[in-house]
Amino acid sequence: MIKKLMLAIATLVATMGFAMAQVDVNKADAAALDGIKGIGPKTSKAIIDERTKGGPFKDWSDFE
């Protein structure tokens, strides 16, 4: 379930182009993540929860 959610998030982020370049997912809080078009409170919470559980994302495949 988490892998499917993260894959959906990664696909969404990949389609947003340069919006991701403005936010560091390893340091951003929920408000900064919510500011990215297409990411709402539920997705930003999932990103933060995964980051808290597994540590910072090392690369793109780790984020997926």
Q: Per residue in 4-37, pLDDT tens?
A: 888 777 777 766 654 445 788 889 999 888 888 8
Residues 2 and 50 sit within 8 Å (Cβ to Cβ): yes
Q: What is the pTM of this model?
A: 0.62
pLDDT at 49: 92
- The two three-digit tokens of residue 39, written as one number: 């990411």
pLDDT at 25: 86
pLDDT at 19: 47
Return the biggest CA–CA distance within the chain. Answer: 28
pLDDT at 12: 72
d(CA 6, CA 40): 14
